Structure 1
Amino acid sequence: MTVTESEQAQTTVVLTDVAAEKVKALLDQEGRDDLRLRVAVQPGGCSGLRYQLFFDERSLDGDIVSEFGAGEGAVEVVVDRMSAPYLTGATIDFADRIDAQGFTIDNPNATGSCACGDSFH
């Protein structure tokens, strides 16, 4: 299932242009065209839930697939049906600054997080 842009904000994550460019660059390094970025929420961490971002070739029943970018630069983001309620409206960005580097997730559903910033509840 591919969602439209208007549905995206309501049903799944949003990938910023900077993050989409980074995902595309990482996928190009992998040299495979069958991978998509999977975003999942798993039990764990200090606050109870932990984000997982990884490349995946699988298609699971109930996956929500969103496409970001256009043409050759387009990337797909997949969220499984169990993680989707925790990620609705979350924005994934990529920071490359002296004080922070890597993917960041701004999640309006998180009511709190641990001091290390690795997990949420």
Structure 2
Amino acid sequence: MTVESEAPAHGVNLTDEAAAKVSALLAQEGRDDLRLRIAVQPGGCSGLRYQLFFDERELDGDSVVTFGDVAVVTDRMSAPYLQGAEIDFVDTIEKQGFTIDNPNATGSCACGDSFN
């Protein structure tokens, strides 16, 4: 069963900048069946690593939140680690890419690639 909502009461939040970038990337893919999946997997120097990728699958227990025309999917195992996390997209001279501000992370590695 997939749970869908329009507002992330306690789930992942996508900033307007991130939603616009995801929407542009989805348009480049030329498919209308893809959604942004955010998952937490074991790995990295701090124990857990984020994964962001486009996915057409629907897994049992998925939580789906929409931001305009962008659907963000989180699996039930990753959801507790991502409650209240905010995903942004930055494009500056120093850095370009998606960032995740996660209030559940108690620590992260120096490279910022993993957390615990």
Question: TM-score, normalised to structure 1's length?
Answer: 0.92
- Give the secondary structure class of the aligned counterpart of 2:81: helix
Q: Deviations over 1:57-95 (max 9, x none)?
A: 0000000000002xxxx1100000000000000000000
**In angstroms, what is the RMSD of aligned CA positions?**
0.7
1:29, 1:83 → 2: CA distance? Answer: 27
Residue among 3, 6, 29 paired with 2:5: 3
- Ranges in structure 2 where 5+ consecutive residues have no aligned partner: none
Please identify runs of 4+ aligned residues in structure 1 that moved more than 6 A.
none
Contact 2:90 2:97 in 1 (8 A): yes
What is the rounded CA distance, in whole Å, between the counterparts of 2:93 and 2:41 in structure 1? 29
Structure 1 vs Structure 2: percent identity of aligned residues?
Answer: 75
Matched positions, count = 114
- Name the structure where strand makes up a greater proportion of residues: 2
Tell me, yes or no, if the aligned pair for 2:39 and 2:75 is still in contact at 8 Å: yes
Q: Secondary structure of 1:2's match?
A: strand
Provide the rounded CA distance (Å) in 1 between the counterparts of 2:87 and 2:64.
15
Cα distance in structure 1, aligned partners of 2:9 and 2:86: 9
Specify the alignment match of 1:52 in structure 2.
51
Unaligned regions of 5+ residues in structure 1, if any? none
- The one-letter code of the counterpart of 1:51 is Y
Q: 1:4 to 1:31 in 2, by over 3 A?
A: closer
More helix by share: 1
CA distance in 2, matches of 1:85, 1:65: 14
Contact 2:6 2:67 in 1 (8 A): no
Distance in 2 between the 1:56 and 1:4 partners? Answer: 19
